[in-house]
Chain A
Amino acid sequence: MKELIKFYQNDYGMALPLLLSSGFGSLGLAVVSRFAMSGLVMAAALIVMTIALNFWGRNRYQMSLQTIQQGLLECSQQENEQKIQLLQQEHNETISRVCIEKIEIERNRINTLIMNLEQRFDALLNRFSGQDAQNITPCKITQSSIETRIADLSQRFDALIDYLDQQTENSEPQQLCPIGLVPLCQKVLPIWANQIEMARGHTEESVANLAQRFDALSQRLDAAVIASQSTVEGDQSHHGGIVELLQTSQLKLGSITQALSASLEDKEKLLHSIEALSSFTNKLSQMASEVSSIANQTNLLALNAAIQSARAGDAGHGFSVVADEVRKLARLSGGIGKQINETIDSVNEAIEDTLVISHKFAQQDKNTLNKAEHIIDSVLGHFARAATGLTDSAELLRTENNAINLEISEVFVDLQFQDRVSQILALVCDDLKKLENHLNELNEKDSENVNHAVNVEQWLEELTQTYTMEEQLAAHRGEKTSINTGETSITFF
């Protein structure tokens, strides 16, 4: 504030010459008007005075400006110093706070690292937990300071290193990776892979051939069963089979025996007819005798008539002619009756001969028919037994075929395991190739002196990812598995 007043004071001082010059001007005008002086002289005097005053005022102004600048400079310097002090204070506080936080974070991190280190140390100690290693105490979770824990850990590490050195000195030198193992693996792994691949290929080919042969066997068996069935039962409409043949034979042979029986019956009928004919001949013979008797009586009657006509004289002459004619007819009838009798006798003889022969033939036919029926029955019996045997064989064949087909179906299930085995071996081959490639990479990195540690867990995890079957996972975990072959797992979407 003082500076501002000073500034205004200086400003006022700068305006003073102007006021003075104005006063001098007014004074000059009054003097000129009073003392009648030359105006030019007065004006010159006033100009000189004005210029002088102007110079004086400028100097004063510059002086006051310098004073103001100085004042301002001092003022701003003072303020700046105060601000700088404040800023420095804040800065220091912030840095302290951040540092404390950072230190805390770092402390926690170091704590975690030390804890991990201690755990790993314990794990390492467990791997070498021999009798001699018992003097190395395992780490314990403590609240002691980091420096103390690091110091303890360093001591334990030193003890472990000493122990391991001692063990190494005492025992025979052991190499985690014996010399020559890597090149050996590089050489032998592809050979193993090739051998497995070759074995896989052979198995595949053999099993395919086996399946083909089973198929051929099954087809041939089917064909045999069909042939057997068609032999026994005929075709689909049961035509042409042995059963039909037997039935047809039975029918045809039956019809022959029936025909023979019918013929025999006809012959017997004929015999009866002939016998009946024989009885007719007796009647004919009787009738012929009666004819002869009538002829004799007629002859006697004609003779009596002739006698009577002779007695009658001429009147009976005509009657005697008739009587003679009647006697002729009677003799003729008697002769014919005799001839008939003779003929009938001949016929009777012939009929009797025929009857004897017919009886003989009828008996022979009967015997032949009986024999034929016996033979036919015997042959048909043989056929029937053969047909029954064939039918039984066909049925047995069909049953066996069904059983074999079932067995073949089971064999087909077993044959599918070749596919599973093939996939498992293919994965083993792939992993062997991967190991081979890894060893080749290691070999290259060896020359470049690069760290080539194998991440076993990652390797095993990647191997697990390639599995497609449950038993692969089980085998990976070292478990025993049993594979279900009975039920097919089908999921419909």
Chain B
Amino acid sequence: MAKTILFVEDSASVRQVMKTALTREGYDVILACDGQDALTKLDGGKIHLIISDVNMPNMDGLTFVKKAKQLPNYKFTPIIMLTTETQESKMNEGKAAGVKAWIVKPFQPPHLLAAVSQLIQA
């Protein structure tokens, strides 16, 4: 059975790129355009991994991650942050919130897919 990944990103182009890359690898992909939208998507079926941007309108990625981690079903779901943000303080904030990996854009899709595969099987 294919694993499901929730991808949260405000940039339509990156959403498209990632959907393509993840679908080609055989994952089911759910897309959300910001943190608020993503929280509504968490009400649905089982999600095995979350990939989220940091700087987004309405609700930023770190706030979303903190809220998601408060939900019992997603307490242990691995989360990858995919962002242009390189500040140490933000990374530490993400780490404290329970993020498993921090990937800086631009990224090579195979590298991201390797990280996804590593975390989704862990």
Is B16 within 8 A of A211, CB to CB? yes
Is B11 within 8 A of A419, CB to CB? yes
Q: Does B120 contact A (CB under 8 A)?
A: no
Is A488 within 8 A of B112, CB to CB? yes
Is A491 within 8 A of B91, CB to CB? yes
Q: Does B71 contact A (CB under 8 A)?
A: no
| Interface residues in chain A, defined as those with a beta carbon under 8 Å from any beta carbon in chain B | 204-205, 207-208, 210-212, 214-215, 218, 409, 412-420, 422-423, 468-470, 483, 485-493
Q: Does B117 contact A (CB under 8 A)?
A: no
Q: Do A208 and B16 contact each other (CB < 8 Å), given the known contacts A419-B84, A493-B100?
A: yes
The 7 A-B residue pairs with the shortest CB-CB distance, nearest first, are: A208-B12, A488-B111, A207-B13, A211-B16, A489-B104, A416-B106, A215-B20
On chain B, the residues within 8 Å of A417 by CB distance are 106
Q: How far is the CB of B49 from chain A (nearest CB, A)?
A: 14
In the assembled complex, the Cα of A371 lies from the Cα of B36 at a distance in Å of: 80
On chain A, the residues within 8 Å of B21 by CB distance are 412
In the assembled complex, the Cα of A487 lies from the Cα of B106 at a distance in Å of: 9
Q: Do A468 and B13 contact each other (CB < 8 Å), given the known contacts A493-B99, A493-B100?
A: no
In the assembled complex, the Cα of A409 lies from the Cα of B102 at a distance in Å of: 20
Q: Do A468 and B84 contact each other (CB < 8 Å), given the known contacts A419-B11, A488-B111?
A: yes
Is A488 within 8 A of B108, CB to CB? yes
Is A412 within 8 A of B85, CB to CB? no
* Nearest-neighbor residue (CB-CB) of A206 within chain B: B13
Is A418 within 8 A of B111, CB to CB? no
Is A469 within 8 A of B86, CB to CB? yes
In the assembled complex, the Cα of A417 lies from the Cα of B105 at a distance in Å of: 8
Is B109 within 8 A of A409, CB to CB? yes
On chain A, the residues within 8 Å of B112 by CB distance are 488
On chain A, the residues within 8 Å of B12 by CB distance are 204-205, 207-208
Which of these, A214, A490, A493, contacts B111 with CB under 8 Å?
Answer: A490
Is A420 within 8 A of B105, CB to CB? yes
* Nearest-neighbor residue (CB-CB) of B119 within chain A: A492
A interface: dominant SS: helix
17 contacts between A and B (CB under 8 A): A207-B12, A208-B16, A211-B17, A409-B108, A412-B20, A413-B107, A416-B105, A418-B11, A419-B13, A419-B84, A422-B11, A423-B84, A468-B54, A488-B103, A488-B106, A490-B101, A491-B91
Is A418 within 8 A of B13, CB to CB? yes
Is B20 within 8 A of A490, CB to CB? no
In the assembled complex, the Cα of A422 lies from the Cα of B95 at a distance in Å of: 26
Q: How far is the CB of B66 from chain A (nearest CB, A)?
A: 15
Which of these, A418, A468, A486, contacts B55 with CB under 8 Å?
Answer: A468
On chain A, the residues within 8 Å of B11 by CB distance are 204, 418-419, 422
On chain A, the residues within 8 Å of B104 by CB distance are 488-489
In the assembled complex, the Cα of A269 lies from the Cα of B102 at a distance in Å of: 85
Q: How far is the CB of B88 from chain A (nearest CB, A)?
A: 10
Q: Do A468 and B105 contact each other (CB < 8 Å), given the known contacts A416-B17, A490-B115?
A: no
Contact residues of B between 61 and 102, Cβ < 8 Å to A: 83-87, 91, 94-95, 99-102
Q: How far is the CB of A201 from chain B (nearest CB, A)?
A: 10
On chain A, the residues within 8 Å of B94 by CB distance are 493
In the assembled complex, the Cα of A486 lies from the Cα of B101 at a distance in Å of: 19
Which of these, B86, B105, B109, B115, contacts A470 with CB under 8 Å?
Answer: B86
* Nearest-neighbor residue (CB-CB) of B114 within chain A: A490
* Nearest-neighbor residue (CB-CB) of A484 within chain B: B106
Is B106 within 8 A of A493, CB to CB? no
On chain A, the residues within 8 Å of B16 by CB distance are 208, 211-212, 215
Is A468 within 8 A of B109, CB to CB? no
Known: A412-B109, A419-B14, A422-B11. 19 other contacts (CB 8 A): A204-B11, A211-B16, A212-B16, A218-B24, A409-B108, A409-B109, A412-B20, A414-B106, A415-B17, A416-B106, A416-B107, A419-B105, A468-B86, A469-B84, A488-B112, A489-B107, A490-B102, A491-B103, A493-B95
In the assembled complex, the Cα of A469 lies from the Cα of B87 at a distance in Å of: 8
Q: Does B15 contact A (CB under 8 A)?
A: yes
On chain A, the residues within 8 Å of B84 by CB distance are 419-420, 423, 468-469
Q: How far is the CB of B93 from chain A (nearest CB, A)?
A: 11
On chain B, the residues within 8 Å of A488 by CB distance are 103-104, 106-108, 111-112
Q: Does B110 contact A (CB under 8 A)?
A: yes
Q: How far is the CB of B79 from chain A (nearest CB, A)?
A: 10
Q: How far is the CB of B97 from chain A (nearest CB, A)?
A: 10
Contact residues of B between 1 and 46, Cβ < 8 Å to A: 11-17, 20-21, 24
Which interface residue of B14, B91, B110 has the most chain A CB atoms within 10 A? B14
